[in-house]
Chains A and B, each alone.
Chain A
Amino acid sequence: MSISVKTFASSAEAASALSSDRTARFMGGGTLIMRAVNEGDQSFNAIVLANDPALKQVQPQGDRLIIGAGVTMAQILASRDLDFLHPVARAVGGPAIRNMATVGGNLFAEHPYGDMTAALLVLDCQVTLAGGQSSALVEFLRDRAREPRALVASVSIIRPQSGVFRFKKVSRVKPKGVSLMTIAAWVPQSGGRISGARIAYSSMGPTPMRVTAVEQALEGAALDEAGIGNALAAATSGIEPPTDSIASSWYRKEVAPVHLKRVLLER
Chain B
Amino acid sequence: MSKKPLQFTLNGDSKAVFVEDGQNLLDVLRRGVGDLSPKYGCGQGTCGACTVLIDGEPHLSCLTLAETVEGRSLSSTGGLAQGADLHPLQDAFMRHFAAQCGFCSAGMLMAAKALLDRNPNPSRDEVVEAISGNICRCTGYEPIIDAILDAAQSGTGRRSA
Chain A residues close to B by CB (< 8 Å): 2-5, 7, 27, 30-31, 34-35, 37-39, 47, 49, 74, 90, 93-97, 99-100, 175-176
CB pair A4 B2 closer than 8 Å: yes
Residue of B nearest to A37 (CB): B22
Enumerate B26-59 residues with CB–CB distance to A below 8 Å: 43-45, 48, 51, 57-59
Q: List A contacts of B67 (CB < 8 A).
A: 5, 7
Known contacts A4-B2, A49-B68, A93-B45, A35 near B63 by CB under 8 Å: yes
Q: Other CB < 8 Å A-B pairs besides A2-B1, A95-B57, 17 of them?
A: A3-B22, A4-B22, A27-B65, A30-B64, A30-B68, A31-B63, A34-B63, A35-B43, A35-B45, A37-B22, A47-B21, A93-B45, A94-B130, A95-B130, A95-B132, A96-B48, A97-B60
Write the chain B residue with the least CB distance to A45. Answer: B22
Give the residues in chain B near A93, CB-CB below 8 Å.
45, 132-133
A3 close to B21 (CB less than 8 A): yes
Contacts of B89 in A (CB 8 A): none
- Check: B62 CB closer than 8 A to any chain A CB: yes
- Name 24 interchain pairs, CB-CB below 8 A, sorted by A: A2-B21, A3-B21, A5-B21, A5-B67, A7-B67, A30-B63, A30-B68, A31-B45, A31-B60, A34-B64, A35-B43, A38-B62, A39-B44, A49-B65, A74-B57, A94-B111, A94-B130, A94-B133, A95-B115, A96-B51, A96-B60, A99-B59, A100-B59, A100-B60
Q: Is the CB of B48 within 8 A of A175?
A: no
Q: Beyond A35-B44, A94-B134, A175-B129, is A99–B111 a contact (Cβ under 8 Å)?
A: no
Q: Contacts of B51 on A, CB cut-off 8 Å?
A: 96
What is the size category of the interface that chain B forms with chain A?
20 to 34
Determine the residue in chain A with the shortest Cβ distance to B114. A95
Q: Is B94 positioned at the interface, with any CB of A under 8 Å from its CB? A: no
Let me know if A94 and B131 touch, CB within 8 A.
yes
Residue of B nearest to A47 (CB): B22
In the assembled complex, the Cα of A30 lies from the Cα of B25 at a distance in Å of 12
Asked whether B24 is an interface residue with its Cβ less than 8 Å from the other chain, the reply is: yes
A187–B154 CA distance with the chains assembled, in angstroms: 47
The docked-state distance in angstroms from the alpha carbon of A93 to that of B2 is 33
Q: Which residues of A sit under 8 angstroms from B134, Cβ to Cβ?
A: 94
A127 shortest CB reach to chain B, Å: 24
- Residue with the greatest number of chain B CB neighbours at <10 A, chosen from A2, A27, A37, A96: A96
Interface residues of B in 86-136 (CB under 8 A from A): 111, 114-115, 128-134
Which residues from chain A contact B43 at a C-beta distance below 8 Å? Answer: 35, 38-39
Q: Name the residue in A4, A37, A74, A99 with the highest tally of chain B Cβ atoms < 10 Å from its Cβ.
A: A99
Shortest CB-to-CB span from B126 to chain A, Å, is 11
Q: Select from chain B the residue with minimum beta-carbon distance to A1.
A: B22
